[in-house]
Every structure is written in C-alpha cells, then in structure tokens.
Amino acid sequence: MMNKASPGYEGSLHRYQKAAKLFQGKILFILVDSGVKANGKVISFFKLKESQLPALAIYRTLDEAWDTLAIAEVSVEHVQNFCDGFLKGKRLRENHESEEKTPKVEL
C-alpha cells in the first residue's frame, strides 16, 4: 500500500515487481493506492493508519490469517523476508488472534 503520487513510487513499484516474481504462483500481489480516498477501507481493514504507509499487507483466504509491515523504504529483501515469514507461519503482529472476529464484508 502506497501513494502513487509519492516521489519514490516508480522505484518502489519496480522493486515490488522484482519481489513478486519470486512468489509467482504462491502470492497474488496487488498495489493499493493510498492516495485514493475509496481505498481507505482496505487500509483500515488491515488496521493501518496513513502515518504507517507505505506498508505491506498480506491476507490468506483459507484461514483468514493476515499481517502487516510498515516500511520506510521498499526493497526486494523487505518484501521477500515478509512474505517468506508469513508463508512459514511467522507473524509480526501476534495480536490478531485476540482481536474480535468481525464479519467479512466485500471491500
């Protein structure tokens, strides 16, 4: 999640694309433009604030597991480590389990 109008957008997008190739067939990467007001629902779903962006967020539909990582600078290594950790069951935000389950609604 990042603002397409930010100065580092093009470079960050290129690094996201490089990282995405490492997870082809495992993770679907979607860029959410935080500069679009309607995308605020997606950002709030992951319990992120504007001050925490840019950020990575991951969601697994089978068990509704998810995690986020606020990052100051997008790098292939940050994305790769975050995704690898999630796929191995490591979560940065351990408090997801204790959060109240909310009914899923279409974003």
Phi, psi for 86 (deg, rounded to 5): -65, -45
Q: What is the value of pTM for the model shown?
A: 0.80
User: Is the pLDDT at 51 greater than 50, yes or no?
Assistant: yes
Cα 4 to Cα 47: distance, rounded to the nearest angstrom: 20
**pLDDT grade for 98, boundaries at 50, 70 and 90:** very low
What does the block give as tokens for 1?
């999640």
Average the pLDDT over 46-63 and give the result. Answer: 93
Q: Could you give the domains of the chain? A: 9-92 (3.40.30.10)
Residue of higher predicted confidence among 53 and 97: 53
Taking only the tens place, the pLDDT of each residue in 6-41 is 999 999 999 999 999 999 999 999 999 999 999 999
Average the pLDDT over 79-98 and give the result. Answer: 79
Q: What distances in angstroms separate CA 36 from CA 31, 48, 50, one per listed residue?
A: 12, 15, 12
pLDDT for res 95: 47
Long-range contacts of 72-78 (CB under 8 A, 24+ apart): 73/8, 73/12, 74/2, 74/8, 74/11, 74/12, 74/15, 74/16, 75/15, 76/15, 76/18, 76/19, 76/22
DSSP, res 33: B
pLDDT for res 52: 93
